[in-house]
A and B are shown apart, each in its own frame.
Chain A
Amino acid sequence: MTYIDITDLVNRATEDFAVGQLLKKDSFTLYETMSAIEIMDPKMDSGMKCKKPKYDFNSLKTCSISMEQVIKIIDKLNGLEVQWLKGYMIYQTLLTCLFVNDPLNISNSYLKAYVNGLLKCCYYSYNYITTAAVYSEEDFVRDSTGFIDSYFPKDIPDAEIVGDLQKIEEELMKKLKNQKKNNNSNEELPEDPKNEVEIINSLLARIRFRRAFLNVLSNFVQSNKKNMNKIKKSITFASTQIPIMKETEETINADIDDFFDENINRKMYSQMPRVTVKFTSEETYEYYTNFFNEAIYLCSLTTEAPYQALINIAKKISGSSNTSTLLRAILHCIIFDSNTIISNPKESKLLKRMNLVECIKEWLISFCDPVMYMQSDNEEIKELMNAFYDRYLNSAVDCIRIYGYNRARLRRLLVKFITEWDKLQEECELLDNKLWDILVMSTGLYNEEEPKYYISSYIYHIKLLYLEEFLSLGIELEIFMKHELLYTYWYLHYLYDVHEDHLERSEQLQSFSSNYKKINMKSKDYNLEKNLADLKLSSYSYLYEKMIISAHKVISNAYVFMFIAFRKTQICKNPECEFDKENVRFFHRFKLFTEVNSPAIVPYEIFLQNIEAIQSEENSLNNCFAYAATEFNNAKQLLLRIKQFPDNVTQTQFYHDAFLKDIDDLLIVVQKNIDNINIISRKISIFMKIKSMNTNVNTRKMNINLNFEHNKIYPIIEID
């Protein structure tokens, strides 16, 4: 092919242009301008001729590499692996290493074994993430060409790769022994024996780490008890290597620049602005450490459990500071048996052994026990109930799936999700009416009674949980700013209040059910003893749910009073700019509530009336602090009782230690706030006195500090 120089042509064609005039098609919009590349600008043009790399694939095959270099290459590869897992393209990360492009021809046997181990890990990671499919483009880049497959050694069996790594470990161990012998016999010492030992040890730690990591990833595929035990061991083993790797990262030096080429991707199809992926080794080790810390919880997923317990573990992993796309993907693959749930939710098995419909039934029983419908012989009722289960399946799956996505997106997902539940609730109200009519007709009883809203009450309960989470996430993700916290806690308190009422009302459903059972069902219908035990368990679970809601209610109320005091004293105030309007902010923050049927939206005016009523009370400052302290104390009592429940009541079977730690952390927050309230109120009253004597004092001098270290929604409040 020959190239033609068109400079002259272009110059002539553009002669009539004014400076800065641009000729473009209408379709050249913002997106195109942003992704356009300025030719010959080294910041953007990845096709620019650069300095010729030292090695090509041929000379690479025969180059000699020192042990120090191997270690350094491994460290950089680990860093790139982590950046890839965090969302950079494989072309910008792992494939910038020349060896990764041609792993079978690596001459150095250590490096060859390592790179193959690494690529096999990548193969597993890639499969988990793409199979679970709970990521967005910022979290992970899927390769749509299928090209990526050719880089992974998927045809080499794990055993072979693990075996190669093991062989090297043995070889290195031997070397170490010889070193020691030599040292002892004092003959022919190498130049720096101590250094030599350190180098071998560092390499050994890295090879061991990789083998353990590969074992972890490969064993999660078959998540049975035996494999989970293997994983636990491998996690411990890998975790002990990390400190050694970290330590030697600094002390070993070698030049490895020639083995990496950022521009290598321009030979491949990928076109993008040239971005140098920057990272620190700390970030790399933190990623691995966090992964292992959290993966331990996944190993507990070997027993049967109620669906709620599965939701809870998904929630836990989503909310953990150790979380990652890979971790959440593995969790989803384990729970949903490699995501067969999407194509066939009715037949697929959770944790490879539990049927989803059965789980849904259990959940429904534990909430309100609609026994007259669930165990009915009436064909019409049976049909309606089955239609409900079918309709409900996808929503139930979503209850777990939404926690697979990046938490930063959870609020947006919840908006869609809540609107769905709202629709579902509406449908279920109709269903409840129908079921009730049939029951009244077929039994000839209950003519006098109000219809019972079993199913819709259950759906409403779950919807309220999501609404509460939606608002709480606004605080957790730092979307609500300090001056917005008053109305946020105020609204949260309203939600918890509605929820508490709802749970109290729903208790009547349970007593209706137990009466129904006494009258209509003979003991032969079911195993009485088991049923009683189950009932006791579910009534404890219900009590626990009520207590949790009440605890949140009193805590949010305590913050409401604290922030009313800060508002009154202007320590925390709205921006003083003509563009800021609190009522506008309030409307948009709670707009979702205008889009759902229940609970009713509380308009801004009500909020303001309520706040101002409290503010204008006599002695309101002291009262506010006193109320807050009382509410924190109430919370403390509730939390201490909540801590006593066993894990099958709280449904935290898979992470009960972490659950207790969370409660303890919340207790710390509550206690610290109780302690601080005295100091805060004293400081404020002194401050207000000075202010009333001298109006020039700037209220900005006093500032509240919110410490979210122990809890992401409820801070410890300090003042300075």
Chain B
Amino acid sequence: MNDNNPSPVIVTTTLGKSVITSDQQSLTILSEINMNIQAGESVAIVGASGSGKSTLLGLLAGLDSATSGSVELLGHKLEPLDEDARAQLRLGRVGFVYQAFNLMENLNALENVMLPLELDRTVTEIDQRALDALCEVGLEHRLNHKPGQLSGGEQQRVALARAFVTQPEILFADEPTGNLDAATGREIIERLFSLQQQYRTTLVMVTHDDQLAARCDRQLHLAEGRFLEQIAGQQ
């Protein structure tokens, strides 16, 4: 993987986000973000807490809309799209892994993994595919357990299975090890990278763990809503 890949999956130009705070003041969270992420690339967004990493990730994934500049995701400009259209764009092509797992508390592991498949009417063999995904993360024996009955590491593995079950083109991860102990965190990261390699998924990962960031192709340093510099990762 390298910078010469001809097909960028994410392109931003002078992307910015500002919000109106409760005391009627305008607060700029992000500004002048220009970036270009190629298919199959893995990019780490690093920075101090509160620097705007999550906000940026949300804009890239179309979970939120920008207040200036533009985002192009999978060849589509997001600005003209409404929420439904952005959701349609994500369906089956974009996966998420969060710091807080964000599983449906009331569905069991299998049902959680089946959910993204069920939302897509064209998908078949939902059960089998969800089962396979859970086997890949080593949870075939916990199919009927609800998130509340699983450890943090296991919950994050279910989240990984849910993210990869649709074989997405892009995976967004927001501090995926933030709620886990070091050993479990390492295990999750190993699984994440191995799945990413296997499915040639583009990875955009927010982290403040330098070691973890170093495993990505590129690192983008965010400070006070701007990129400090763009450092090339290990080649």
The answer on A and B forming one complex is no
Residues of B that sit less than 8 Å from A by CB: none
Residues of A that sit less than 8 Å from B by CB: none
